[in-house]
Amino acid sequence: MTSFEALIDRAETLLAPVIRETPLEPSPALSQRLGVQAWLKLECLQVTGSFKIRGALFALQQLRDSGASEVATCSAGNHGLGLAFAANLSKMPARIYVPGQVDPGKVELLRGMGADVRVSPHPGFDETEAWAMEEVQRDGIPFISAYDDELILAGNGGTLMREMRRQLPDLETLILPVGGGGLSGGMLLSAAAPKRLVAAQTLASPALVRSLEKGTAVTRMDSAETLAGGLEGGIGVRGFEALKTHAPQVISVSEEEIKAGVRWTLATHRYLIEPSSAVAVAAALRPEVTVSGPTVVVLTGRNIGPDVLRGILR
């Protein structure tokens, strides 16, 4: 079995010619507020608009090296975009299953990148994923989960954590959005993990809080209305186990706080971020947030459409 660190090594080598080393930008405003030196990790400036390209490209190429000639996933969000981009770059066919209620613009975008998009007969994500799993099993195509997969954990969280550690060797506290646990879990499983973690989630879909209460991963949640669609749903088993061991401070934020986080980032640093990223900013702005030493807020993505942005600025 390959160790997790060896997987991250392999992912870093493979990703280097494709991805950007995104800047770590000092935030005087947050530093003053938190009473420590604080930075923003601008992973929102990554190729495809989010960190998801890291895990998607790594998983796809590992599967190709193992003999796969096509891959599939279920996502109408950043993971789908990352996989479509990776497949296009690797000249490998990719099937992307999307929920029936998907925004037609996103289907267009994915098809424009060459993906074979399959729109589900079911409106929501969970039924769509179940349907997609049946389809790919029938057709013998490997399926790349958006979060509960060791390659995704190493590619997404593992490589991003190492990059931040190189940029700021004495990094102590990390504030980041937690949804399925693919990013946070991969970071915590790596040797570069921070001492302290603040896990930010949306109140609308608090899988981490529920899982900590139960002591085991809540892998399915009722579908919920939230601007932070990237954080909606259950949490993966591997990611949750890493989070539980680490005992993070969990902060759940409201839709209004998410909007305020988008506005704060725009007004203070002039960066565009998507609502799922703003969840971490909102947590950093909460009075009860507990940090120590050099602190980094991870801005995970910028994929926000003009209509949603207009609503947030209103």
Residues that bind a second copy (CB under 8 A): 20, 23, 25, 28, 45, 47, 49, 112, 263, 266-267, 270-272, 302-306, 309-310, 313-314
Minimum CB separation of residue 6 from a second copy in Å reads: 29
CB nearer to a second copy: pick between 138 and 314: 314
CB nearer to a second copy: pick between 104 and 306: 306
Residue at token pair 């007004």? 267
Cα–Cα distance list, 270 to 25, 42, 145, 256, 257 (Å): 12, 12, 33, 20, 18
Minimum CB separation of residue 271 from a second copy in Å reads: 7
Q: Retrieve residue 281's tokens.
A: 């900013």
Minimum CB separation of residue 161 from a second copy in Å reads: 21
Cα–Cα distance list, 243 to 178, 211, 235, 237, 296 (Å): 10, 10, 10, 10, 18
CB nearer to a second copy: pick between 238 and 302: 302
CB nearer to a second copy: pick between 20 and 195: 20
CA distance 120 to 131: 8
CB nearer to a second copy: pick between 118 and 263: 263
Minimum CB separation of residue 78 from a second copy in Å reads: 11
176 close to 188: Cβ distance less than 8 angstroms: no
CB nearer to a second copy: pick between 47 and 92: 47
Which residue from 45, 285, 38, 270 is spatially nearest to 168, judged by alpha carbons? 38
Cα–Cα distance list, 70 to 94, 115, 129, 311 (Å): 6, 11, 18, 39
Task: List the beta strands (DSSP E) in the chain.
Answer: 24-26, 38-42, 71-74, 94-98, 116-119, 173-177, 196-202, 249-253, 295-299
CA distance 187 to 206: 20
Minimum CB separation of residue 26 from a second copy in Å reads: 10
Minimum CB separation of residue 163 from a second copy in Å reads: 15
